[in-house]
Structures are given as structure tokens and as C-alpha cells.
Amino acid sequence: MANVNQELQQVIKHDYPESQHDIVVDVLGWYGDQDYQREHDRVRLAALKIADGDLEQLKQAVNTARRDYRDILAWAESPNEMDRMFGRNKMTRREATVADQKQMQDWLVAHGLPSNKALERTRLRRATQL
């Protein structure tokens, strides 16, 4: 069973029925068992965000992360930017960035998590790209 931090436990309790908590923790443990798998908590949080309470979606997200964790981070943290890159919306890069930051902040707050830590990490990463 994976060792999940308090933030992950909070999301699990919010998004999944109690009867699935142990299963969700086990699925999250699929990621992070290899030395090359990085940023365990961030990737697991991203997988939970993408899954949105759906156990099968969580399994798919974690399996995707096992192949390349950057895919999960991109779609969880920057969905508008990803859609923009694939021509699915007409936002400018700046508009997509602002929308992504707000969406992430709203999601974190809705799950009772502090939004400033993750948001600041995203801002710093994106500031070098704009």
C-alpha cells in the first residue's frame, strides 16, 4: 500500500466512497515504485484530479503516469493550454495560463487544500515559458 500524504488523503475522502479508499491508495501506489518515477505526490494528486472520483479513470491516469508522468501533469495542471496546443480552443497562451491557474486554484480550494503552494509552483514554471 502506498504511503499517501495528508493532501492526498483529503482528496480521496472528498472524491471516493469510503469503501474504495484502500483501493484508491493501492492504485496510487502503482506510481512511485521505480527510481525513475519522480514527484510522487504531485503526480498522484494530478491523477486524482484527472480521475474526478472515477476509479477506472484513476487506474488509466496512474498507468499513463508510469509511462510518462509529464502527460498527467500537463493535462491536470494545464488543460486549457493543452487544448490550445491541439487546436481545441482559441485562447491565447496567456488566457490559457490564467484559466489553468484559476481552475487549479478552484479545484484545490474545493477539496479543502491550500491553493498557494501548488499555484506558486505552477506560476514559477510558467513564468519562464511566457
- What predicted TM-score, i.e. pTM, was given to this entire model? 0.84
Res 130 pLDDT > 60: no
Does residue 83 form part of some domain? yes
Range of the domain at 85: 78-127
Does residue 99 form part of some domain? yes
Residues 110, 56 share a domain: no
Mean pLDDT, the chain, rounded, equals 88
Q: How confident is the model at residue 98 (pLDDT cuts 50, 70, 90)?
A: very high
Report percent pLDDT > 70 for the chain.
87
Residues 115, 98 share a domain: yes
Residues 10, 64 share a domain: yes
Q: Which amino acid is at 72?
A: I
Task: Please give the C-alpha separations between residue 101 and each of 41, 85, 115, in angstroms, as whole numbers.
Answer: 19, 17, 10
Higher confidence at residue 87 or residue 15?
Answer: 15
Q: Which amino acid is at 107?
A: W
Sign of the CA dihedral running 21, 28, 88, 78: positive
C-alpha cell of residue 98? 490564467
**Residue 24: CA count within 13 A, CB half-sphere:** 27
Find cell 486524482 and name the residue. 48
Residues 83, 100 share a domain: yes
Residues 53, 101 share a domain: no
Q: How many domains does the chain have?
A: 2
Does residue 1 form part of some domain? no
C-alpha cell of residue 54? 472515477
